[in-house]
Amino acid sequence: MIVTYIFHSCYVIELDGFSVVVDFYEDVPREDGSFWIKDYLLSKKQPLYVLCTHSHADHFNPEILRWKAENNAIEYIFSGEILESGKTKRDDAHYLNKLGVFEDERIKIQNFGSTDLGGSFLITVGGKAIFHAGDLNNWHWKEEVHKEEALVFENNYLCELELLAENIAHIYLTMFPIDPRLGKDYMLGAEQFLDRISSDYFLPMHFGEHYHKANAFGEYAEKNNCTYLPVYHKGQSYQL
């Protein structure tokens, strides 16, 4: 398995004979000047699963619907919220509402909850569970809202986390927001996640250009027997 950070919350997962891309926002160049998606991934002409957790512009770029012209072996799996947003049509994708499942001979994808729009995806391949959180996080905004409001946000998150934990005890790879905009407790949601669900590997998302702040989570992950994979630039790949 090769996992590549594209940008923001977008990761590409290359597996044996097929690939998965989640929450594409914008393409980024490779070392040779070509682009990760349009020049590399689409040119592979292998089955490609294109997932999108919700309709926010930094997670859903309608350009992905044009990729079908380059690769007719694409399966689009979207949160049902994207259809409700009016940004896509019924026949553009397989739509999953909460706890909905897409499954074929290669992959199983189940939609779990979010504390923002849409959902999050639990992807199972070859017996390994991969979790992409979308915008699921403890968006507490403690430094901007009253304590009572922050507690409501946190409780909503913990309820969604408990639902996930009831369905999966261990995750091979977790991709989760580490967003410094939340203030001094910006890692809290990720900490609570690893406290509740063990993971072998952890990759950050949603951190903008604040690589050092995202990578500060590595120490907490290691204390939870989880290998943190530090991100230093767009297009960085990991062989797992």
Each residue's pLDDT tens digit, 153-189: 999 999 999 999 999 999 999 999 999 999 999 999 9
The overall average pLDDT reported for the chain is 96
8 A C-beta contact, residue 187 and residue 220: yes
Query: What percent of the chain has pLDDT above 90?
Result: 92
The pLDDT confidence band at residue 150, using thresholds 50, 70 and 90, is: confident
* Residue 174: predicted pLDDT: 98
Whether residue 45 is predicted with pLDDT greater than 90 in this model: the reply is no
The pLDDT confidence band at residue 142, using thresholds 50, 70 and 90, is: confident
Residues 147 and 85: their CA atoms lie apart, in Å, by 31
Domains, the chain, ranges and CATH?
Answer: 2-239 (3.60.15.10)
The pLDDT confidence band at residue 124, using thresholds 50, 70 and 90, is: very high
The mean pLDDT of 204-224, rounded to a whole number, is 97
Q: Edge-to-edge strands of the sheet including 10-15?
A: 94-96, 74-79, 48-52, 18-22, 10-15, 2-7, 237-239
The mean pLDDT of 211-237, rounded to a whole number, is 97
The mean pLDDT of 207-218, rounded to a whole number, is 97
* Residue 141: predicted pLDDT: 85
* Residue 146: predicted pLDDT: 87
Query: What percent of the chain has pLDDT above 70?
Result: 100
Q: For 25, how many CA atoms within 13 A lie in the half-sphere containing its CB? A: 17
